[in-house]
Structure 1
């Protein structure tokens, strides 16, 4: 169990470093005129676009959630620590915004483990972490295409004797503005206050 845990954690760190390295090779992280805590990815990533199913089993696209600042995060419900830690932090971040700003932010949690993460299971999982979060998933080819779109990847470890397996994935959080334009890449080491500062600035910028 401990070996599988550390292998998963290593894979997550590796996937995140690969993503950040690919952005660095592209050039600068954009124009940092604003005092952002996250990395400015304006113009370095495509706009928010996907065709998946939500935790109610309905087909949805990126346009269905337009009008709000959106945070996109890849993970899976069986994740032992990285996913719940990140989602708890994001819930605290949005809950800590001024009341009139809280509904202006939405977290999109994309499960890359469709074999286990049914819509019903996703619904129970995301509901635990607050109201302003949507669970999404799809068929594996769709999920791989979406991950590739944002220069990351995911993979599955070999199942153990009980059929359990770990999933490697990026721990980065992508932030898009109301129009779906890519704006920021949030590293997992940022504090909740740093993320909140950036979200508030984006909300007020687009108001």
Structure 2
């Protein structure tokens, strides 16, 4: 076989393989976190921010929203998760960071006053917003995303623990559920996911 024919055959074979691979592709984007698009409802709540003002998802429309439940007296999961989110946001490209809002929803409204919640989130990152509200509204929101929370018995000083989910929910700029992240995920992988969502919204 001539060199020309061998080259032509190789090119045809390569083209066929490429076409086969393209045909097998489902067209979906690659995500490092768990893709839960369409599995849960769109983002919806009516809560209060650290200034005591009523907040709804429309107030941050167009932003990629990251939702995490917790409370300021949490000894471990909450501070480590918020520190993780700070580092993730830092690793995002500079031109995408301002299109991210992290919503830290306190499920301990008895202790987490707006002032206390404001001081707490300010310690971590300016992109993190503290929210809380009446217990019934918080339970409704938790149930909406298939989780719950509970209060332990108070000690002699009145202190108590709050059990809650450690899941990190990610919604796109239209408020649609997209991803579920965990803080044991490499920070750069989470940053890549958030940046991809931002750019997808802007495209």
Same fold (TM over 0.5): yes
CA distance in 2 between partners of 1:112 and 1:97 (Å) = 28
Matching residue within 148, 151, 156 for 1:153:
148
TM normalised by structure 1 equals: 0.83
Alignment deviations for residues 92-145 of structure 1 (CA, whole Å, 9 cap, x no partner): 111221211110111000000000000000000000111111100000000000
Which runs of no fewer than 5 residues in structure 1 stay unpaired? 1-30
- Give the secondary structure class of the aligned counterpart of 1:88: helix
SS in 1 for 2:178: strand
Change (3 A) 1:161 1:106: same
* Equivalent runs, 1:17-32 vs 2, <5 Å: none
State the distance in 1 between where 2:34 and 2:52 align: 33
Kept in 2, the 8 Å contact 1:32–1:40? The answer is no
- State which of 123, 128, 135 in structure 1 corresponds to 2:130: 135
Q: In the alignment, which residue of structure 2 is the partner of 1:166?
A: 161
Deviations 1:5-61 (A, max 9, x none): xxxxxxxxxxxxxxxxxxxxxxxxxx8922211111111110011000001100111
Cross-structure match for 2:57: 62
Instruction: Say which SS state the counterpart of residue 139 (structure 2) adopts.
Output: helix
The equivalent of 2:102 in structure 1 is: 107
- Count residues with an aligned counterpart: 177
Unaligned runs of 5+ in 2: 1-25
Deviates most, 98-107 or 139-148: 98-107
Which string of whole-angstrom CA distances, capped at 9 and with x for unpartnered residues, describes residues 141-176 of structure 1?
Answer: 000000000000000010111111000000000000
Of the two, which has the highest radius of gyration?
2
Alignment TM-score, normalising by the size of structure 2: 0.85
RMSD: 1.2
Q: Distance in 2 between matches of 1:193 and 1:81?
A: 22
Q: Is the 8 A contact 1:157 1:166 kept in 2?
A: yes
Name the CA distance, whole Å, in 1 between partners of 2:193 and 2:82: 17
